[in-house]
């Protein structure tokens, strides 16, 4: 008998992608074959985002779109999981009657029991939601993933204790729960054995790793444990909060053979009274001083940050200060959010709310400034010989391969288009940068015959990331 087919759709951030891969692995263990063709799947799982209202709207639109396969395709059961379920809980069945089962963030690890009907001790109603676990489950096995396994996300903790006034994460993901170092190292070893050459460490705040248990050097101990792992070539640190970036951590990055000189730091803003409103306390770190300290310790480091405009009380003068900060600091990569007054957050109740149109104007202003900075920074790379991780074919043509530099994180930063030479997907190879654009680069392979050639990517097993 052919195996039943299942499709998994992942929305939102990289943490959600890991959850989607965990659910896909459970389905494979149950006997399902994963497919990218939703019309042929008897079971469809949508893993939702609920961080912002716009993400909730995207989640609902996606659910309504795939629900048509219950009438037009082979879908027998539609399961919706993740942060949107955690946020809205038992309000959802009335809004989305097409869905057979809703799973909050605390229940994705038991999808196999729920789908199989053997979820002992759970209320097997249409909505399964409870407080995220105080102790984070050890994953301890390789995960089903899409495309090449050369670059993977490795979650070291979940939840957050920062309690920023604008943020829903503590409600959606619960308090900070760190995984044991040994469990992370064991999973890293299995991921490398499965083909990973780059591991991207993720959490809501990786610098808070094991802080709930009083650990002060836990992240450094983890990095020291990953360093000797044979086959692992790049380690990337994502989502490092300013207060946790110590001199010891910067020295670890500088002296490592495998940690790439790259940090993703969510600074949010540079004006003190705005930061106090965002974080509920006097900022411990002044933004420009932190950037200067990082660049002094690791001179070749690439910095990415996320900034928010239109927070309540942000004046035009405050925005001009933020714009000047961006122009003077020259971040390699920049993400910009317009403040969203999410119900249930403290910031939504603050006075002096900035109008929607003004928030968007400020967001576009920062992005325009960053585009010019990015063009100038990338132009300096032309002519250099640099290592690139080859990831696969360009989404618009199989005549071009794409990859990333050490200074480019997966999905959020630009890419390198390989226009000449031979390369194999999943390998790190030397290239010469030949041309620059606003966010992307072009390059040719330094060694190999002329002409585009590469190893074709394996077919996606059915996890579709939107």
DSSP for 94-113, please give it.
HH-TT-SEEE-TTSGGGHHH
What is the phi-psi region of residue 44: left when phi exceeds 0, alpha when psi lies from -120 to 50, beta otherwise?
A: beta
Q: In whole angstroms, what separates CA 145 from the centre of its chain? A: 14
pLDDT at 281: 56
pLDDT at 365: 97
Instruction: Calculate mean pLDDT across residues 140-147.
Output: 54
Give the mean pLDDT of the chain: 88
Q: Per mean pLDDT, which range of 12-16, 261-265, 414-418 is the poorest?
A: 12-16
Find out whether 132 and 174 touch, Cβ atoms under 8 Å: yes
Structure tokens, 35: 């497919």
414-434 pLDDT tens trace: 999 999 988 889 999 999 999
Which residues have C-beta within 8 Å of that of residue 334, sequence separation ≥ 6? 304, 305, 306, 307, 326, 366, 367, 370, 373
Residue 213, judged by CB atoms within 10 A of its CB (0-12, 13-18, 19+), counts as: exposed
233-258 pLDDT tens trace: 999 999 999 989 999 999 999 999 99
Residue 451 half-sphere exposure, CB side, CA atoms within 13 Å?
2
pLDDT at 133: 62
> Taking 90 as the threshold, does the pLDDT of residue 89 lie above it?
no
Token pair 């010989």: residue: 385
Q: How does residue 37 score in pLDDT terms, banded at 50, 70 and 90?
A: very high
Instruction: Calculate mean pLDDT across residues 394-410.
Output: 89
pLDDT at 461: 47
Q: Per mean pLDDT, which range of 26-40, 143-157, 308-322 is the poorest?
A: 143-157
> Taking 90 as the threshold, does the pLDDT of residue 263 lie above it?
yes
Tell me the whole-structure pTM to 2 decimals.
0.88
> Taking 80 as the threshold, does the pLDDT of residue 462 lie above it?
no
433-460 pLDDT tens trace: 999 999 999 999 997 533 333 433 333 4
pLDDT at 295: 97
275-298 pLDDT tens trace: 999 986 555 578 999 999 999 999
What percent of the chain shows pLDDT beyond 90? 67
Which residues have C-beta within 8 Å of that of residue 83, sequence separation ≥ 6? 12, 16, 48, 49, 50, 51, 105, 168, 172, 173
209-218 pLDDT tens trace: 999 888 778 9
pLDDT at 14: 85
pLDDT at 279: 82
Structural domains of the chain, ranges and CATH numbers in brackets = 5-128 (3.40.50.12160), 151-379 (3.80.30.20), 385-455 (2.40.50.140)
pLDDT at 116: 75
Find out whether 307 and 366 touch, Cβ atoms under 8 Å: yes
321-371 pLDDT tens trace: 999 999 999 999 999 999 999 998 999 999 999 999 999 999 999 999 999
pLDDT at 122: 44
Nearest CA to 336 among 311, 305, 313, 361? 305
Angle between helices 247-255 and 218-226 (to 10 degrees): 10
Instruction: Calculate mean pLDDT across residues 19-41.
Output: 91
List alpha helices for 111-267, DSSP H: 111-116, 169-173, 181-193, 218-226, 247-255
């Amino acid at each position: 008998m052919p195996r039943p087919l299942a499709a998994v759709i992942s929305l939102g951030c990289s943490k959600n992608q890991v959850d989607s891969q965990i659910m896909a692995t459970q389905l494979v263990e149950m006997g399902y074959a994963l497919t990218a063709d939703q019309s042929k799947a008897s079971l469809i799982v949508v893993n939702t985002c609920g961080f912002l209202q716009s993400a909730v709207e995207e989640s609902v639109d996606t659910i309504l779109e795939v629900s048509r396969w219950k009438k037009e395709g082979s879908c027998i059961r539609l399961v919706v999981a993740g942060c949107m379920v955690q946020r809205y809980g038992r309000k959802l069945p009335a809004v989305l009657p097409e869905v057979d089962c809703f799973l909050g963030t605390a229940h994705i690890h038991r999808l196999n029991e729920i789908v199989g009907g053997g979820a002992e001790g759970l209320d097997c109603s249409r909505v399964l939601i409870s407080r995220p676990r105080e102790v984070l489950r050890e994953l301890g096995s390789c995960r089903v993933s899409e495309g090449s396994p050369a670059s993977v996300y490795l979650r070291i903790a979940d939840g957050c204790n920062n309690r920023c006034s604008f943020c829903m994460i503590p409600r959606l993901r619960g308090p900070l729960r760190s995984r044991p170092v040994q469990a992370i190292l064991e999973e890293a070893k299995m991921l490398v054995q499965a083909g990973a050459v780059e591991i991207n460490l993720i959490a809501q705040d990786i610098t808070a790793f094991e802080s709930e248990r009083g650990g002060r050097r836990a992240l450094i101990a983890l990095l020291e444990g990953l360093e000797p792992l044979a086959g692992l070539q790049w380690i990337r640190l994502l989502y490092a909060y300013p207060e946790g970036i110590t001199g010891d951590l910067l020295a670890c990055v500088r002296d490592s053979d495998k940690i790439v000189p790259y940090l993703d730091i969510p600074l949010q803003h540079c004006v003190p009274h705005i930061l106090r409103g965002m974080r509920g306390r006097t900022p411990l770190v002044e933004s420009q001083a932190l950037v200067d300290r990082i660049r002094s310790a690791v001179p070749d480091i690439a910095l990415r940050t996320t900034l928010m405009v239109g927070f309540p009380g942000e004046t035009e003068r405050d925005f001009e200060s933020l714009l000047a900060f961006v122009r003077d600091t020259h971040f390699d990569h920049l993400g910009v959010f317009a403040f969203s007054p999410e119900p249930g957050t403290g910031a939504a109740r603050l006075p002096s709310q900035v109008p929607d149109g003004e928030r968007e104007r400020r967001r576009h202003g920062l992005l325009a400034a960053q585009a010019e900075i990015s063009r100038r920074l990338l132009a300096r790379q032309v002519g250099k010989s640099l290592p690139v991780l080859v990831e696969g074919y360009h989404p618009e043509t199989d005549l071009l391969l794409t990859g990333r530099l050490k200074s480019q994180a997966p999905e959020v930063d630009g890419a390198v288009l390989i226009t000449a030479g031979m390369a194999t997907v999943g390998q790190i190879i030397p290239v010469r940068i030949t041309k620059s654009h606003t966010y992307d680069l072009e390059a040719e392979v330094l060694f190999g015959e002329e002409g585009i050639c590469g190893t074709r990517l394996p077919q996606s097993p059915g996890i579709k990331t939107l």
